[in-house]
Structure 1
């Protein structure tokens, strides 16, 4: 595991070219409390919408989330959806300078309507016609090849990866000595001849070979059939709850599934191909690269919608076996915000409180228990060492932030701990958007940081009763005397 942890640190050196079908994933969230009088269908009261990169765009987003560099090439139309996608590519620090615009082409968009945790409907606008700008795309690929270490072909069957373009890109990449990894589509993998690796899921593997792929032995046989008949170097097959299989002509390794809970499998294949290729591009061997990709897949399926996995999450995942009840309950701000959103989609009330929690005492425990009683899941914001020092003086904290976070995470009433470096938790509260904000009764609602913000969207502020005579400062004084 320590070797894998060191590998994660090297992912920031990866530089990958990603070519494929980009699309806009639109998520429309709301609530349903009545049936339409016009037809026997639910009426969705829309609350908010979320736009994300889909298809090959999600592969690029996953590469950037791993701190890798990505040169992204795709084709969009000169329409509103295409313009939205280009804007998101820029805001996600991927860039749109290598995206080719084809006049008159309809850019693919998938809109999902969701009430609570139930998807009601998906509506697609798309074209699957072959692109008319393949020569321009190929020229763009050839310009970028010298600056990258590997190439991903993300094939969603929407017309960007034509047979001739795939063949030409693989040939150019091989001539340049670049690794080619394909997330495939369709039944005929001969079009990917010359690729180093393909990453089908179990269903795709069965469809491409006409062979069963339920047991380990069947997966190996089907994968080696592809290798022998399609001129592919290796197969990394994702198998849902059965994990992942890495198969070459000579060897096979089966990796168990890493998911702790599955909420949404949307885009999991994108995360796998991004993590696998980033690792391969910096010289990590195929099996260890697949281990990282398998770990990333286990993390991303526990998230909502089209999502990404960050390097910090991979590290936390690696530490989980050793720190199962501590490390997984300590997260950074972005990860905590994603978990809070997932909890809310499941109908949970998210609570928040914060403090230094140096030398945990009965007053702290009382506050945390009262906070947990006011919500379904409790997130605790913990002042960093530097923040405590600024607030309490140079002699504090007595315990460093790692020790304080570990103690808090071991409590049954605490569901998540987030360390923040600012003097106040205002930024963290705005990221989490808690339903319930809890502070001690030595505050008033008017003086609670973040109270106005939480109340602005209907959240609740709770003042917890204090346990008299309990203070870390007084405890330290008694110890010194």
Structure 2
């Protein structure tokens, strides 16, 4: 995200569990995306066409179903509404959706038309051919009525609505009008991914999210005439009564057009593009989830832009995952990692970033006054239990209470700096209490390590760590090395010299 992203903490909070409190309703055209993948090594002798040597085949939810899958990937509870056929493709689509465990299919209606499917023939990463199966007949009126009734009931328990219009018949003008009106009456934001060139059917939505081609079709202005196209987009905002337009501009990023606030442009993130299939689904899912989660529209657009950049780097219709977004977001924070001495608040944030990308967190603590080989051995042993080591260090005041008025020998700032220089240590946090219990509860380490003659039951914080599914490890101390012993040797040496 760019420098205008002051809400990084809030964004990470949503991605790392906050989205789970949200429910978003997706209404639209449901599809099954099939892929037949292989290698082309020669041309057929029967006709001038390539021969694909089959390697694998698979299927994924597509259309509005892919929007729901993106929401589930972010951690949102998705409620999906649409129409499928009573056929094998419909059954497979429902199986894939149920396996995701994040998509509620209770608003899906089974109709008389075949389930829409798209079969893509792919050689390595190059799409060679697409075979579509769909009916040109309109959905039966009773099917659309049943769909609308289920959607209106579901509106009572959702935080946002997405209309995913692929112009395949589920989102009639009447359905769009009634859903938008009911949602706005309940104070629920509505996000539209349009295919119809008549944007009037989406009047009253929170935002419509066209790409340049869709915007050009709706306005009659060439997609290459950027200045006049955006001017026409501003007029659409007024005529449709939407809060703003969110225009996806391919390699030029995403632009917020119109509305009460100033317009905003989020440049595209540099990334090699493998396949743009489903990128629009990812954008609208992320935008809706982010705004439903309380983020400003500018922040939500930045997050949607990031999500799109991740999915276009993959082949096929692949939903975004919260974990990969966290990993991408925290790349920009890695420059800070050279500073290992952190406040508790920043340490908690750093640990959250690590955990999001699969790191295991180890914690140990001590005064670490006059660092010696016993301390070094303890730190090396700690690191063997996980991938990141956080060290809690007593402040000077805490050491004095525990060790007496003549300790520590080395001040807390110097002790922390020396500890941070250790290769095995990833973070150092000072604590002023007599025990590190509050620190342990805040950091929630996967492994709690203590050196010395302890049992698990006598280690401070063991109950919290074990209750959270972690473990407590006891490592032996190195005989003959202690800070107290070093202090006594120094005093004895000074006495002999005097």
Is this a same-fold pair by TM over 0.5?
yes
The aligned residue for residue 48 of structure 1 is 56
Residue among 51, 72, 81 paired with 2:89: 81
Residue among 373, 382, 385 paired with 1:396: 382
Residue correspondence of structure 1 range 239-254 to structure 2 within 5 A: 239-250=249-260, 251-254=262-265
Question: Structure 1 residue 116: deviation in Å?
Answer: 1.4
Is the CA contact (8 Å cut-off) linking 1:17 and 1:151 kept in structure 2?
yes
Instruction: Tell me the alpha carbon deviations over residues 255-308 of structure 1, each in whole angstroms, 9 at most, x when there is no partner.
Output: 111242211111000000000001111222211111111111111111121111
Residue among 165, 173, 183 paired with 2:193: 183
Residue correspondence of structure 1 range 142-291 to structure 2 within 5 A: 142-214=152-224, 217-250=227-260, 251-291=262-302
Secondary structure, in 3 states, of the residue corresponding to 1:39? Answer: coil
Secondary structure, in 3 states, of the residue corresponding to 2:383? Answer: coil
The aligned residue for residue 371 of structure 2 is none
The aligned residue for residue 376 of structure 1 is none
Secondary structure, in 3 states, of the residue corresponding to 1:74? Answer: strand
Question: Structure 1 residue 323: deviation in Å?
Answer: 3.2
Between the aligned partners of 1:142 and 1:156, the Cα distance in structure 2 is: 21
Is the CA contact (8 Å cut-off) linking 2:362 and 2:389 kept in structure 1?
no
Is the CA contact (8 Å cut-off) linking 1:261 and 1:302 kept in structure 2?
yes
Instruction: Tell me the alpha carbon deviations over residues 326-363 of structure 1, each in whole angstroms, 9 at most, x when there is no partner.
Output: 99xxx99999xxxxxxxxxxxxxxxxxxxxxxxxxxxx
Is the CA contact (8 Å cut-off) linking 1:206 and 1:222 kept in structure 2?
no
Between the aligned partners of 1:37 and 1:239, the Cα distance in structure 2 is: 43
Is the CA contact (8 Å cut-off) linking 2:360 and 2:386 kept in structure 1?
no
Between the aligned partners of 1:259 and 1:325, the Cα distance in structure 2 is: 22
The question of 1:69 aligning with 2:77 is answered yes
Larger Rg: 2
Secondary structure, in 3 states, of the residue corresponding to 2:210? Answer: coil
Secondary structure, in 3 states, of the residue corresponding to 1:302? Answer: coil
Question: Structure 1 residue 4: deviation in Å?
Answer: 2.7
Q: TM-score, normalised by structure 2?
A: 0.66
Residue correspondence of structure 1 range 123-142 to structure 2 within 5 A: 123-132=131-140, 133-142=143-152
Is the CA contact (8 Å cut-off) linking 1:114 and 1:121 kept in structure 2?
yes
Between the aligned partners of 1:261 and 1:326, the Cα distance in structure 2 is: 27
Secondary structure, in 3 states, of the residue corresponding to 2:284? Answer: helix
Query: CA, structure 1 residues 332+155, in 2 after alignment: closer, same or farther (shift >3 Å)?
Result: farther
The aligned residue for residue 98 of structure 1 is 107
Between the aligned partners of 1:315 and 1:382, the Cα distance in structure 2 is: 13
The question of 1:3 aligning with 2:7 is answered yes
Secondary structure, in 3 states, of the residue corresponding to 1:122? Answer: strand
Question: Structure 1 residue 119: deviation in Å?
Answer: 1.5
Is the CA contact (8 Å cut-off) linking 1:259 and 1:299 kept in structure 2?
no
Secondary structure, in 3 states, of the residue corresponding to 1:30? Answer: strand
Question: Structure 1 residue 319: deviation in Å?
Answer: 2.1
Query: CA, structure 1 residues 189+124, in 2 after alignment: closer, same or farther (shift >3 Å)?
Result: same
Instruction: Tell me the alpha carbon deviations over residues 141-193 of structure 1, each in whole angstroms, 9 at most, x when there is no partner.
Output: 11100100111000001111111111111111122221111000021111111
Q: TM-score, normalised by structure 1?
A: 0.68
Is the CA contact (8 Å cut-off) linking 1:259 and 1:297 kept in structure 2?
no
The aligned residue for residue 19 of structure 1 is 27
Residue among 304, 307, 310 paired with 2:318: 307
Question: Structure 1 residue 394: deviation in Å?
Answer: 9.5
Consecutive unaligned residues in structure 1, runs of 5 or more: 336-380, 387-391, 409-420, 422-475
Between the aligned partners of 2:114 and 2:360, the Cα distance in structure 1 is: 49
Question: Structure 1 residue 20: deviation in Å?
Answer: 0.3
Query: CA, structure 1 residues 201+318, in 2 after alignment: closer, same or farther (shift >3 Å)?
Result: same
Consecutive unaligned residues in structure 2, runs of 5 or more: 339-352, 364-377, 391-422, 425-445, 447-476, 482-498
Secondary structure, in 3 states, of the residue corresponding to 1:97? Answer: strand
Query: CA, structure 1 residues 312+218, in 2 after alignment: closer, same or farther (shift >3 Å)?
Result: farther
The question of 1:29 aligning with 2:37 is answered yes
Between the aligned partners of 1:271 and 1:108, the Cα distance in structure 2 is: 20
Secondary structure, in 3 states, of the residue corresponding to 1:269? Answer: helix
Between the aligned partners of 2:195 and 2:356, the Cα distance in structure 1 is: 32
Q: How many residues align?
A: 360
Between the aligned partners of 1:141 and 1:397, the Cα distance in structure 2 is: 52
Query: CA, structure 1 residues 385+114, in 2 after alignment: closer, same or farther (shift >3 Å)?
Result: farther
Between the aligned partners of 1:397 and 1:325, the Cα distance in structure 2 is: 21
Is the CA contact (8 Å cut-off) linking 2:107 and 2:150 kept in structure 1?
yes
Query: CA, structure 1 residues 107+152, in 2 after alignment: closer, same or farther (shift >3 Å)?
Result: same
Between the aligned partners of 1:231 and 1:382, the Cα distance in structure 2 is: 47
Between the aligned partners of 2:226 and 2:266, the Cα distance in structure 1 is: 11
The question of 1:316 aligning with 2:302 is answered no
Instruction: Tell me the alpha carbon deviations over residues 47-68 of structure 1, each in whole angstroms, 9 at most, x when there is no partner.
Output: 1111101000000000000001
Between the aligned partners of 1:205 and 1:168, the Cα distance in structure 2 is: 23
Is the CA contact (8 Å cut-off) linking 1:280 and 1:289 kept in structure 2?
yes
The aligned residue for residue 111 of structure 1 is 119
Between the aligned partners of 1:193 and 1:282, the Cα distance in structure 2 is: 23
